[in-house]
Chains A and B, each alone.
Chain A
Amino acid sequence: MSDRHAPSRVIRPACLLAFLLLLRAGSVGAQTASTLFDDSVLHTLQIAIHSRDWDRLRSTYLENDYYPADLTWNGIRVTNVGVRSRGRVSRSGVKPGLQIDFAHYSTRGQFLGLQGLVLDNLLQDKSMIRERVAMAFLRRFGVPASREAFATVFVNGQYAGLYAMVEEVDSMFAQRALGDANGALFEYRWLRPYYGEYLGDDLDLYRQLFEPRAREYGSVFDLYDPIRELLRAINDTPAESFRDAVWMRLDLAALLRLVAADVLLGEADGIVSFAGMNNFYLHRHSTTQRHQFLPWDKDYALFQWNYPIMDGTSEHPLIRRALEDPELRTLYAGFLVEAVESATAADWLEQEAQRAYEQIREAALADPVKPYTNQEFEAEVAVVVDLARRRPAFVRSEVQRLFGGR
């Protein structure tokens, strides 16, 4: 080739390289939170954390101290995120549940539009799939619920176990799921069996139970007076005006839809549970001022195929009184039937449980820090799949028995 072709020898590879780089940049740029929570994929998360910080996090796993770390997912590295141990009874120094806060060290910190990410250590659920399948069902059923996907987590290059990546319930979530990032948001703190009784005028009693997760700096009155008034309305309003009085403060339809989904899932530790209300967030819309319950933590779903569908409702003033209202009772029965249909359409619930199991099986068996054996894992998965097969029919028959019709 003559010298006059020399520039083209350089330009062509350069153009090719540039094209490839553009492709690469495009693929990175196309990553979104939806890609992160794509539950058809078993993701990989790499966490780089100073060796001593990791040791300290594990040795003081009951503390909420943050440590700096870098997080890598799909070739994207996020530097200087805050990591801390998380959970209540699921806290562990061996396989710690992790809270990733992208904004802990910078108010501008975010990742794919997220401010935080929860890494559920799947400690309480030997099948490891309950939480992920339950949340998927809730979303499918139209309940605003966190997105979730499994991930193998590597800490400083070493396999640290199988985790579930859970979308944090925060103002970003509220914007995505409810279209309202400016509302007040509270995480319910289980302190004792509490079923939603009116606690009196003292706002501190409500503050103990509802921990603000957005608009934390609002005054106590602004934050908690609406909750107090909601509970007063639930408990003290005469039956004939119950629906209207509560409806203006609470999205009752959304609540009943969520409870119906929980019933289908056999959830024993949710809003209607054996030991009072548990595992939920409460959102208050910034313009309508109406509250909405949001589900959280479904480790105790899908446990018992014949778990009674009315369990706990008699102790729960809100649900009990709602079901005493004929219109709301009919609405609820409809939601229950709809939940059954959603779960059984193309055997969705059973197929989803089976799919989740096949996706994680290899990673779960290789998980060196899970606190149960591989045999226990396999046996528990069988329980979940069996429940997914049998539970909808049980719920359908119970609805017919207790609510009649349909």
Chain B
Amino acid sequence: MNSSNRARNIACAVAFIVTLAVPAGVLAQTTSEEQTTSKGTSTQDGEAGVFRMGNSPSLRLGNQVRIDLHARVQADVSLQEESGAARDRLALGNRRIGVDGVLFKRVEFQIEREFSDVEPWRDVFADVRVHRALGIRAGHFKVPFSMERTTSAFDLDFIARAASVTDISPGRETGIMLHGRGPRRFFEYEFGVFRLAEPPLPPSVESGTDGAMLTAARFTFTPGNASIGIAFTGSRLPESLHGLSGYFDDDGLLSSEDFYVNGRRRRLGVEGRWTAGRLSIKGELLRQADSREGESVSNSDLSDLIVDGGYVSGVWRVVGSPRRSRRAVDVAVRFERLGFHSAAQSDAPSLGPRADHIAPLRQDAWTFGGTWLVNRWVKVQVNAIRQSFVDETGIRPEIPQARWRSLMRLQFAM
């Protein structure tokens, strides 16, 4: 799908949702007299006004319209001298601007754009709350899969998401989603249908994913201080070379390790989180199985290509309130694993793109980090990461040595 078509579809979906929601919002409106306010002045909470300055600039029209403006930027600095000159070690990360808000108490919306040529539009959606147990979201937004993937890049405990989350989880797609929750958020669900766009970095050899549909469901239960969840996705998978490139960061190790896939892609994710005072622990197990129909050298089916992994992390709030705090210091540690293999492991392992027994490879990583919330807008993070690779078959010409990396991130988010 080209970008103009996609933008048109998103716009139609948003307009549709807004149209559905406006009557309810209009019915709920108060009179204009009740909304009068002193234009152009900051106001206290509870007062009706036009402009406010909280965490971000906000436009309020009574309690019927709230529009917040956001601007966010990240800069990453490699702390290793061998990375080059200081100027070369600095890289701008996410740079986004956007608005979100609520219309007529029922319609939430978000529009966010990245300063980038690749997928500049991030979240563009409208979300109608019909009932606590039923909301409808339509537009371009994150597929409900993985706790960490659905967490904003500006709210992570570490500089980067776990590799398994990045590689296995789907990102943003255009679609429609039903969602809701039970009393006291004990139970939440999300169920969506999405239209897959052409991937920005095409691994496909024959045809893209354009037009294929993806179905996703996620259920979370929150008994007390703990939360557990399970998520699934399913989609058709056009014939392609499943690119595991980018899989192991900038080493390019797997850039040539591609395997033909064709048929269906199924993902399964299990997540958990537990909080006790200053300590919070969370983890996920993720698995992606790609079928390989008709992809053997004799045009018969091959066993599934499986990518799986997960992480477990712990965060300790050293300074600041255990709950939301504008100024705080956290220390954190994470262990993660990501690997791939085939379902069949009978014959000799191989790196051939049509091998039934794909030689497994995995990456383990430890991340030690600290986060300093300087104020409500500024965050500083430092991570030290040790990566190692395990090729149990030993058939690869070479794999990188285990290594340490260290990074610092400066973040401004308003």
Contacts A49-B297, A79-B347: A68 and B397 contacting too (C-beta < 8 A)?
A: no
> A48 on the interface (CB 8 Å rule)?
yes
Given A79-B347, A106-B350, A108-B394, 13 other A-B residues pairs in contact with their CB atoms under 8 A: A49-B297, A50-B295, A50-B296, A50-B354, A51-B299, A68-B352, A69-B297, A79-B348, A79-B355, A104-B352, A105-B355, A106-B348, A107-B395
Interface string of B120-152 (1 = CB under 8 A from A): 000000000000000000000000000000000
In angstroms, Cα B347 to Cα A48, docked, is 16
A80 to B396, CA, bound (A): 14
Q: Residue of A at shortest CB range from B239? A: A52
| B225 CB–A CB distance under 8 Å | no
Bound-complex Cα distance A69 to B354 (A): 8
- Which residues A53-71 have CB closer than 8 A to chain B? 53, 68-70
How far, in Å, is B358 (CB) from chain A's closest CB? 10
Of the candidates B295, B350, B393, B397, the one whose C-beta lies within 8 Å of that of A80 is: B350
Task: Report chain A residues within 8 Å CB of B395.
Answer: 106-109
Contact B298 A48 (CB under 8 A): yes
Contacts from B to A (Cβ < 8 Å): 295-299, 347-356, 359, 393-397
Given A107-B396, A108-B394, are A48 and B297 also a contact pair (CB < 8 Å)? yes
* A287 CB to nearest chain B CB (Å): 26
Q: Does A286 contact B (CB under 8 A)?
A: no
A212 within 8 A of partner (CB): no
Which residues of chain A are within 8 angstroms of B353 by Cβ–Cβ distance? 68
Instruction: Find out whether the CB atom of B297 lies under 8 angstroms from the CB atom of A105.
Output: no
B244 to chain A, nearest CB (A): 15
B389 CB, min distance to chain A CBs, angstroms: 15
Q: Tell me if A68 and B355 are in contact (CB < 8 A).
A: yes
14 A-B residue pairings within 8 Å (CB atoms):
A50-B297, A50-B299, A51-B299, A68-B354, A68-B355, A79-B347, A79-B350, A79-B352, A79-B355, A80-B348, A105-B352, A106-B349, A107-B394, A109-B350
Question: For residues 313 through 359 of chain A, which have their beta carbon under 8 Å from a beta carbon of chain B?
Answer: none
8 Å CB interface, A131-162 against B: 156
In the A-B complex, list the 8 residue pairs whose CB atoms are closest, starting with the nearest: A80-B352, A80-B350, A68-B352, A105-B352, A106-B395, A68-B354, A105-B351, A48-B297
Cα of A390 to Cα of B255 in the assembled complex, Å:
58
Contacts of B355 in A (CB 8 A): 68, 79-80, 105
A82 within 8 A of B: yes
- In whole angstroms, how far apart are the Cα atoms of A49 and B395 in the complex? 22
Closest B residue, CB atoms, query A78: B348
Q: Closest chain B residue to A50 by CB distance?
A: B297
Shortest Cβ distance from residue A122 to the other chain B in the assembled complex, whole angstroms: 25
Cα A51 to Cα B347 in complex, Å, equals: 22
Q: Give the distance in Å from the alpha carbon of A105 to the alpha carbon of B395 in the complex.
A: 8
A105 partner residues in chain B, CB cutoff 8 A: 350-352, 355
Question: Shortest CB–CB separation between residue B303 and chain A, in angstroms?
Answer: 13
Chain B residues whose CB sits within 8 angstroms of the CB of A69 once the complex forms: 297
Minimum CB–CB distance for B23 against chain A, Å: 55
Please tell me if the beta carbons of B397 and A107 are within 8 angstroms of each other in the complex. yes
Whole-angstrom CA separation of A254 from B146 in the bound complex: 68
How far is B298's CA from A69's CA once the two chains are assembled, in angstroms?
A: 9
User: A68 contacts which chain B residues (CB < 8 A)?
Assistant: 297, 350, 352-355
Q: What secondary structure prevails in chain A residues at the interface with B?
A: mixed
Most-contacted residue by chain B among A49, A68, A82 (CB, 10 A): A68
* C-alpha gap A48/B356 in the complex (Å): 14
Query: What chain B residues lie within 8 Å of A108 (beta carbons)?
Result: 394-395
Closest A residue, CB atoms, query B348: A79
Instruction: Kindly state the separation between the CA atoms of A109 and B396 in the bound complex, as whole angstroms.
Output: 11
By a CB distance below 8 angstroms, the chain B residues around A104 are: 352
Shortest beta-carbon distance, A157 to chain B, in Å? 9
Closest Cβ of chain A: how far from B216's Cβ, in Å? 31
Inter-chain CA distance A82–B256, complex, in Å, is 14
Residues of A within 8 A of B356 (CB): 79
| Distance A53 CA – B352 CA, assembled complex (angstroms) | 13
Contacts of B350 in A (CB 8 A): 68, 79-80, 105-106, 109
Within the assembled complex, what's the spacing in Å between the Cα atoms of A107 and B350? 9
In the assembled complex, the CB of A371 is this many whole angstroms from the nearest CB of chain B, namely 27
Interface pair A106/B351, CB less than 8 Å apart: yes
Cα distance A156–B354 in the bound complex, in angstroms: 15
Which residue of chain B has its CB nearest to the CB of A71? B297
Contact indicator B297/A70 (Cβ below 8 Å): yes
For the complex formed, measure the closest distance between the CB of A25 and the CB atoms of chain B, giving whole angstroms.
17
Min CB distance B40 to A, Å, is 67
Report the separation of the CA atoms of residues A200 and B394 in the bound assembly, to the nearest whole angstrom.
43
Q: Which residue of B lies closest to A156 (CB)?
A: B298
Interface centre among B295, B297, B298, B393 (most CB of A within 10 A): B297
CA distance A99 to B395 in the complex (A): 21
CA distance A49 to B296 in the complex (A): 8
The answer for the CA separation of A334 and B24 in the assembled complex, in Å, is 107
- Greatest chain A CB density within 10 A among B348, B352, B356, B396 is at B352
- Enumerate chain A residues within 8 angstroms of B351, measured Cβ to Cβ: 105-106
What's the least CB distance linking A339 to chain B, in Å? 42
Q: How far is the CB of A16 from chain B (nearest CB, A)?
A: 28
The distance in angstroms between the C-alpha atoms of A197 and B354, with both chains bound, is 47
Q: A278-290 vs B: 1/0 string, CB under 8 Å? A: 0000000000000
Distance (whole angstroms) from the CB of B147 to the closest CB of chain A:
37
**A82, A105, A107, most chain B CB atoms within 10 A:** A105
- Measured CA separation A79–B352 after assembly (Å): 9
Q: How far is the CA of A53 from the CA of B241 in the complex (A)?
A: 13
> In angstroms, how far is the closest chain A Cβ from the Cβ of B105?
56
Chain B hits for A79, CB < 8 A: 347-348, 350, 352, 355-356
Q: Which residues of A contact B347 (CB under 8 A)?
A: 79
Pick from B295, B298, B354, B359: contact of A106, CB under 8 Å: B359
CA distance A80 to B350 in the complex (A): 7
Measured between beta carbons, the chain A residues less than 8 angstroms from B359 are 106
In whole Å, how far is B302's beta carbon from the nearest beta carbon of chain A? 11
- A3: min CB distance to chain B, Å: 40
CA distance A156 to B297 in the complex (A): 9
- In the complex, what distance in Å separates the CA atom of A49 from the CA atom of B354? 10
Which A residues from 89 to 116 make CB contacts under 8 A with B? Answer: 104-109
Report the minimum CB–CB distance from B58 to chain A (whole Å).
57
In Å, the complex CA distance between A51 and B393 comes to 29
Chain B residues closer than 8 Å to A80, beta-carbon distance: 348, 350, 352, 354-355
Q: Give the residues in chain A near B298, CB-CB below 8 Å.
A: 48, 50, 70, 156
Kindly identify, within residues 11 to 49 of chain A, every residue whose CB is under 8 Å from any CB belonging to chain B.
Answer: 48-49
The chain A residue sitting closest to B295, CB to CB, is A50
Complex-state Cα separation, A10 to B347, whole angstroms: 31
Residue from the set A51, A69, A106, A107 with the largest chain B CB neighbour count within 10 Å: A106
Chain A min CB distance to B6 (Å): 30
Q: Within the assembled complex, what's the spacing in Å between the Cα atoms of A114 and B350?
A: 17
Please, which residues of chain B bring their CB within 8 A of the CB of A48?
297-298
What is the distance, in angstroms, from A218's C-beta to the closest C-beta of chain B? Answer: 16
Bound CA span A86–B359, Å:
27
* Docked complex Cα distance between A205 and B348 (Å): 42
Inter-chain CA distance A6–B107, complex, in Å, is 82
Which partner residue on chain B sits nearest A69 by CB separation? B297
Residues of A within 8 A of B354 (CB): 50, 53, 68, 80
